[in-house]
Chain A
Amino acid sequence: MSDIERTMTGIAPDAGAVRSDLESLKRLWALAGPLRGTVLTGIVYRFAQSFCLGLGFGTAILLVTDLLKDDFTPTTGWALTMTALASLSLFGQLLFGFLSSKITWFAAFDLGAELRLAMLDRLRRLPLGFHLSRNRGDTVTMLTSDMQMVENFMLDGLPRIAEAFGLPIAILIFLAFQDWVVALAALASILVAVPVYLKASRRLAELGIRRQDMQAAAAARMIEFVQGIAVIRAFNRLAKGAEDFRAALQTFRDLSVRMVLRLTLPLVGFGLILMLGVPLILFAAGWRWLGGEIGAATAITACMLIYATYGPLLSLIAVMEATRMADASLTRMDRILTAQPLPEAAAPKEPDGFDIAFDDLSFGYGETPVLKRLTFTVPERTMTAIVGPSGAGKSTVLNLLPRFWDVGGGAIRIGGVDIREMSSERLSRLITVVFQDVYLFSGTIFDNIAFGKASATQDEVEAAAKAAQAHAFIEALPDGYRTRVGEGGASLSGGERQRVSIARAILKDAPIVLLDEATAAIDPTNERALQAALAALVAEKTLIVVAHKLSTVRAADDILVLDEGRIVERGGHDDLVAGSGLYASLWRHWTEAANWRIGHK
């Protein structure tokens, strides 16, 4: 898959602009779907909890204002009333806090499960090209840690945001009834600070990405030092390596310092602006009292509530990072959630025979064209070899046939039917692809081979294993065909794994086989067994092979010579080698290498 990798790595993963916190919340809200009601209930309860805490402050205020009355004498009964109110507040907080947590947490867990299931389902419906062009680890990360990040935000960040606003809102409403000027004074710094917060958060995210980008190069050089240390030592260049490392490290540190200074400022700014409300309320309350506009009780009330107003809002700073991280995760997850499966034919057609025809086919990964106007046919049960220099687009030809990607222009037909007009299930039954990197599922060897055919019997599985040169080594394992492979199971060698996977393909018995011959050398004994297994798989099939072995190329019925995405030559080996084209020169190279030996000129 080297073509793909080369093309795909050129694409920047994250070109989009950073969303604001509000936009991310909106996206999360959209994803919450049927859980929205539950989430909302959780938030309402969280507000109720904050209001109950407000009732506690209200009791304190009632207590003070009672005592300010000229003719008031505090009695035990009065103290009991205060105690009752405080108890009510506490009880309300405990009750609503518990309900809110329980509802929100469970909603978060449910959302986590549902989004994971949605992504799993989406993944299996996406074309294989989507999977091949991505780092496998990234996809796993999205389903596990990224989703966990979003889940954590739901159960921790969201309630904290609700909590941050709950008590301040309750207090502002209360103050508005007392005196609108004081209420406005209390509101003023919040109104200025919240936009600053949103801006700061966005800036924080942008700077974070910039910091990552800028540090990436220095980090890469530091990692390179560790990985390359054996080479550095082998060439006795420790001094140079250490010097490079030190330089990278210095860059890394300087960038860290510069970025942190720029990140600190917006956060300190938000806190400062918000807390300017403290002197402002104090001034407003005192001034209004001095002017005789409000009573002492109101002024004292306002003063007592100053910290209850701003304290919760300050804790938004701690939520900021969690919000940003959840947003980054959401953005990554959206790449799966918004990716489109290939269109399915509305009225699937049945192929007539298994001839393959490429008709004026063009294709590119992204903007770069890889294949340019290929036209050729592969008659049933023949063997076609594709050769050419690396980067010519050989593997891509194989990838288009099972619709890992859809063609850009032109069409591919099997048995006269455009592959896009077949059902994907039918197409999949027609074709077997032999991958270079073998994947065995955790399970028994039997299960792995029988994967090729749902109803396979023991005899069929054994016959396939025998054909794939795998029967003898399987029998020699402690539990034979019932031996478990994969994690915690028996470890098979690379060659053995390959033969198990070929047995699986033999059992599938598809009429068309696509094969990308391995270039890596393996030991001769394994290589020989592998060749025999492959021969059993492709016997009597229509075979297209990206060939690297001379003997394979020579045996092909038809050879396509590809260069820069075009067919430059085509024909049988004898004809081509007699010519003076690319194939003839490639062939000279190969035979030269094949006859070469160390110490022999």
Chain B
Amino acid sequence: MADAALTAEAPLVGAAEQSERPDYLSSFRLIWPYLAGQRVKLAAAVLLATLSVALELVPIYLIYRTIDALVVGDLTTASLLFSVAGALGAVVLGYAVLGLAMMVSHLVAFDALFRLRLALSRHLARLPLGHFQMRQSGEAKKLVIDDPEKLELIIAHGIPEGISAVATWIAVSAWLFAVDWRMALAVILITPVAFVLIVLAMRSGSRFAGAYQAAGQRMNAAVVEYVAGMPVVKIFNRSGEGFREASDAVSAYAALEKEWANAFLPLGGTFYALVLSNVIFIVPVGAFLIAGGGLDLPTLVFFVVLGANYSRPLIKLFNLFHELAHISMGSTLLEEVLSAPPQSDTGKVLPLDGHDVSFDDVRFGYDAHDVLHGVSFTAREGTVTALVGPSGSGKSTIASLIPRFFDPRSGRVSIGGVDVREMGLDQLMDTVAFVFQDTVLFTDTIAGNIRFGKPDASDAEVEAAARAARAHDFITALPQGYETRLGDLGRKLSGGERQRIAIARATLKDAPVIVLDEATAFADPDNEAAIQEAIEALAAGRTLIVVAHRLHTIREAETIVVVADGHIAETGRHDELVAAGGPYARLWDDFMAARQSSLRGTPATVEDRP
């Protein structure tokens, strides 16, 4: 009965809850398997929690006994001291047991979360790689940290406290009825009435759920726009406009909160007053029963003392239920992730006939509509193949199919004549090195990050790779050199420096097929030359496939594949393509024009060209 408290948090909860029916059981379903081996401990926590609640009833009984003795007038020093000592012991023991219950239940909870997260990480590692490209850091945090963490509340609090609350409620009810059923009815009478009222109140409040949510979203959107647009607003000195919309949205939100409150409060407010007013109904019923001679004073006192707090465990249950609804959304999401089918893996190591990479009538789309419509080309071993074309034409998508970030809808991608889906993932990953557009480095030393490409590499090999990637010089210029730590708490490197470490990592891996997805995209001019040299070193004797915007870098490529709208528009060498006067020639023309423009006196307009 200890800390049950009323929650008036209903404005938010009520609104969120009504919009989508929560799956209350999802959290339990999710966590149950990970409680294996801990279930005995959890049961112990439940028993301890129940024991602590039972111990709370002991002083109440002793108080009642003392009052009884006072009424009759036979209270003795001995019996008083007995009651006092008993109450003292029960309070101390009760809290000790409660503390113990919380410790045990938290140990169980954190252990279950540990297993859940481990299982999650194992499963994530087997999902198709494309799955992760779409995950922002916020999403990743939600998935692996925040959503699982919420389950702690269910295991550590919900289960033990919920069950002990139910147990207390049943025990107290039984006790009340055993002593006098008429008075027991007086005690419990108001509780169901109160709960019916709160349900009605939430229902009448929920009429506003849609509007409430809309107002919240409008306010949110207006504030986001206001803050995001602040640079523009300030530069154009137009702070009036944005402010007006944002402040209107804020006022509209407040107005709707009030409307909601007006609908909720008459019944909801009554609930809050009624639910703890059991004593108000005990008194009159008791008075009439006594007046009629059907009740004695000590029994009445018993009901006043025990019955006054009758509703508390129920309120606790009510609040737990509410929280469960909140948590269920995250749990449903986790269940979905855990049940997503893993990527197929034959596990085979197949003999490859060279390392030519071939696309054969490949179709692919991220959703229902295709972004690649029958792509065919071959990148020969020992040559450079460049993928060029406008933004959104599908170049990067083509590149990402080689290491199976996604699998094609139809057609096939093969290396050395073997479909990439036929060979085991291990073989595929050993065969292909991929340098990503946005470089991911790990919280580790620079040497550790480079060695990621080959775990048993010697220091000399790491340094050689760094030299080949033109990263050695800037690394040795750092105070801790190769032992410099990277990551959130470590040193920040520039985009160009990060890319060179990524290239060193790929160099060390020494794979026969290398895919570079706009590896120079974020390089500033100071770094560009170094990165280009690094790529040069990487290319020797391999199948190199590059996605590029800076066309001068791929002029010498053996094959230039021009991609437009998910088709291969043309293929050839630079000179042939320029001479052909097709899409590549236009791209090249644009490239040269843009490159030579100097902000002052460039008359060219490009828009009206066919």
Contacts and interface: CB of A to CB of B under 8 A. Distances in A.
B is a partner of A: yes
B555 interface: yes
Contact of A102 (B132, B265, B276, B288): B265
Report whether over half of chain A's contact residues are helix, strand or loop; otherwise say mixed. helix
B426 A236 contact: yes
Contacts of A144: 219-220, 223
Interface stretch (B31-39, B225-233, B328-336, B354-362): B225-233
Given A76-B291, A249-B117, A307-B309, A431 B235 contact: yes
B140 interface: yes
Interface string A405-430: 00000000000000000001100110
Contacts of A53: 276-277, 279
B178 to A, nearest CB: 20
A242 B3 contact: no
Contacts of B518: 521
A304 B546 contact: no
Contacts of A482: none
Interface string A218-260: 0111111111111111111110111001100110110011001
Given A97-B273, A234-B403, A451-B232, A227 B529 contact: no
Interface string B437-448: 000101100000
Interface string B146-189: 00000010001000000000000000000000000000000000
B135 A226 contact: yes
A222 B145 contact: yes
B246 interface: yes
Interface in B580-610: 586-588, 590-591, 593-608
Interface in B49-97: 59-60, 62-63, 66-67, 70-71, 73, 75-77, 80, 83-85, 87-88, 91-92, 94-95
B131 to A, nearest CB: 9
Contact of A128 (B94, B234, B290, B291): B234
A240 B606 CA distance: 52
A587 B142 CA distance: 47
Report whether over half of chain B's contact residues are helix, strand or loop; otherwise say mixed. helix
A545 interface: yes
Nearest to B247: A117
Contacts of A578: none
Contact of B243 (A56, A124, A227, A586): A124
Interface stretch (A30-38, A171-179, A286-294): A286-294
B478 to A, nearest CB: 14
A289 B75 contact: yes
A226 B429 contact: no
A592 B384 contact: no
A318 interface: yes
A229 B99 CA distance: 40
Contacts of A555: 598-601
A449 to B, nearest CB: 11
A464 interface: no
A506 to B, nearest CB: 12
B163 to A, nearest CB: 19
A278 B59 contact: yes
A64 B283 CA distance: 10
A90 B253 contact: no
A325 B130 CA distance: 38
A216 B277 CA distance: 46
Given A246-B118, A454-B238, A554-B598, A93 B84 contact: no
A49 B273 contact: yes
B550 interface: yes
B246 A552 contact: no
B37 to A, nearest CB: 15
Interface string A275-307: 110110011011101100000100110011011
B270 interface: yes
Interface in A488-534: 493-495, 501, 504, 508, 515, 519-532, 534
Contact of A79 (B9, B291, B430, B505): B291
B124 interface: yes
A535 B549 contact: no
In this complex, which of A253, A454, A486 has the most chain B Cβ atoms within 10 angstroms of its Cβ? Answer: A253
A297 B219 CA distance: 59
A116 B304 CA distance: 47
Interface in A177-236: 216-217, 219-236
A337 interface: no
B453 A428 contact: no
Interface stretch (B22-30, B368-376, B389-397): B389-397
Q: How many interface residues does chain B have, given as a range?
A: 35 or more
Interface string A554-596: 1100000000000000000000000000000010011011111
B272 A132 contact: no
B9 A306 contact: no
Interface string B205-238: 0000000000000011101111111111111111
Nearest to A587: B525
A477 interface: no
Given A79-B287, A226-B132, A431-B235, A590 B489 contact: no
Contacts, number: 546
A167 B499 CA distance: 67
Given A60-B304, A253-B114, A128 B231 contact: yes
Given A286-B84, A429-B237, A143 B67 contact: no
A175 to B, nearest CB: 15
A20 interface: no
B381 to A, nearest CB: 14
A120 B287 contact: no
B471 to A, nearest CB: 15
Interface in A62-117: 63-64, 67-68, 74-76, 78-79, 82-83, 85-87, 89-90, 93-94, 97-98, 101-102, 105-106, 109-110, 112-113, 116-117
A177 B355 CA distance: 97
B440 A227 contact: yes
B588 A493 contact: no
B377 interface: no
Contacts of A515: 599
A318 B125 CA distance: 40
Nearest to B59: A278
A523 B525 CA distance: 17
Contacts of B390: 523, 525-526
Given A220-B488, A390-B526, A234 B433 contact: yes
B586 A112 contact: no
Contacts of A378: none
B487 interface: yes
B80 A286 contact: yes
A245 B91 contact: no
Contacts of A26: none
A348 to B, nearest CB: 14
B528 interface: yes
A103 to B, nearest CB: 11
Interface stretch (B40-48, B104-112, B409-417, B461-469): B104-112
A64 B600 contact: no
A223 B145 contact: yes
Contacts of B232: 435, 439, 441, 451, 501, 504
A140 B552 contact: no
Given A94-B274, A508-B236, A592-B529, 17 more contacts: A57-B279, A79-B291, A86-B281, A105-B257, A120-B250, A131-B227, A223-B144, A225-B121, A227-B137, A227-B140, A237-B455, A282-B59, A311-B309, A521-B549, A555-B598, A597-B553, A600-B555
29 contacts: A53-B276, A63-B286, A64-B304, A85-B283, A86-B283, A98-B273, A101-B272, A106-B258, A120-B246, A136-B228, A139-B227, A155-B8, A156-B7, A219-B145, A220-B489, A235-B509, A264-B99, A271-B3, A279-B88, A282-B62, A308-B308, A314-B2, A402-B234, A439-B228, A469-B605, A529-B606, A532-B602, A555-B601, A586-B525
What are the 10 tightest A-B residue pairs by CB atom distance, in nearest-first order?
A: A555-B598, A593-B529, A113-B254, A524-B591, A318-B5, A428-B237, A521-B549, A286-B80, A79-B287, A83-B284
